[in-house]
Structure 1
Amino acid sequence: MQLDHATIVTADLDAARRFFVDVAGLTQGARPPFSIDGYWLYANGRPLIHLIDATVAVQAGRVAPRIDHIAFRLESADEWQALLQRLHATDTRYQLAEVPQTGPQQAELQLFVALAPGVVIEFVTAPRHARRS
């Protein structure tokens, strides 16, 4: 199983788009002509993040903005270092957390960015990828 896409409903589309393009490294791409403003942001040729304007009337039972967090797995030290460089270049604040090994589950390093109130983006990698050579 893999992440297909995550939809983030936000009142600040441009700030969210800038974060995902300038910091996370996604690219803005084609999006169907929906009646609501938004962006589709791509990774490896797939629309991974869908951003939707929260200024439209909210349907009953749904709140905006909404999402707890989404997580991106980085599989190499180069990817991790490139992320850190982009975070520093854009003065983006983040928090690190360590997940200790539990049984067969290997230890992991998590990096959290609060994109907007109620929206957190997590990047996760193996601790060995976070060590500088």
Structure 2
Amino acid sequence: MTIQRLDHFTIRTERWDETAAFFAHVIGLQPGPRPAFRFPGHWLYASGKPILHIVSMTEDRAELEAYLGVKTPQPGGGSIDHVSLRGDDLGATQQHFVALNIAFRERVIPEVGEHQLFVEDPNGITVEIIFPYSPAAKIVGQAMPTLEVAEPWEQRHD
């Protein structure tokens, strides 16, 4: 078996409309069609594919729990540490966050060719967006500490 890519992730939340608005307006996913489930929610798309399923933790959860099972809501997504997405146009994304007054952190990891931005969604889930590294790129958000690498990436993964 070989895993090819992330298919989608699902967030259960009482703040389902706010969460959908965040991922649409801040992250840039597009709202799209969703099957006629018997519980409220949203599907958001990237490149024509539904990658985020948001389900409402309404007071009447019978239909949701019949479909997905019972889960206790946990701040920050419980065992999810973060969700990582690939992006393009680092500068435009940084300026988009600044224009929206969205706090974000960022880190550069030249050894793996990445420039990472981190934001928090309305539920406290960290969303990472990875861009190709460029020596000319500037840190605009809150700079995160540079990670000390014990040995070059190439040597660890040969």
Q: Percent of pairs identical after alignment?
A: 34
CA RMSD, Structure 1 to Structure 2 (Å): 2.2
Q: Please, which of 61, 69, 72 is the counterpart of residue 82 of structure 2?
A: 69
Aligned to 2:40: 37
> In the alignment, residue 95 of structure 1 is paired with which amino acid?
R
Whole-Å Cα distance in 2 between the matches of residues 129 and 23 of structure 1?
25
Whole-Å Cα distance in 2 between the matches of residues 54 and 98 of structure 1?
37
Q: How much has 1:81 moved relative to structure 2?
A: 2.1
User: Higher relative contact order at CA 8 Å, sep ≥6: structure 1 or structure 2?
Assistant: 1
How many residues are treated as equivalent by the alignment? 124
Whole-Å Cα distance in 2 between the matches of residues 40 and 17 of structure 1?
8
Q: Which has the higher strand share?
A: 1
47-56 or 63-72: bigger deviation:
63-72
8 Å contact kept, 2:29–2:44: yes
In the alignment, structure 2 segments of 5+ residues that lack a partner are 139-158
Residue 84 and residue 129 in structure 1: after superposition, are their counterparts in 2 closer, same or farther (change >3 A)?
farther
Q: How much has 1:90 moved relative to structure 2?
A: 1.4
What secondary structure does 1:63 align onto? coil
Q: Please, which of 16, 19, 34 is the counterpart of residue 16 of structure 1?
A: 19
Aligned to 1:125: 131
Whole-Å Cα distance in 2 between the matches of residues 40 and 129 of structure 1?
36
Deviations 1:12-46 (A, max 9, x none): 11221111111111110000011111100011111
Q: How much has 1:128 moved relative to structure 2?
A: 0.8
Aligned to 1:92: 102
Whole-Å Cα distance in 2 between the matches of residues 130 and 6 of structure 1?
33
Deviations 1:57-88 (A, max 9, x none): 6654x3324333211112x4xx2222222212
Whole-Å Cα distance in 1 between the matches of residues 136 and 33 of structure 2?
33
Residue 92 and residue 2 in structure 1: after superposition, are their counterparts in 2 closer, same or farther (change >3 A)?
same
Q: Please, which of 51, 54, 75 is the counterpart of residue 48 of structure 1?
A: 51
Residue 54 and residue 97 in structure 1: after superposition, are their counterparts in 2 closer, same or farther (change >3 A)?
farther
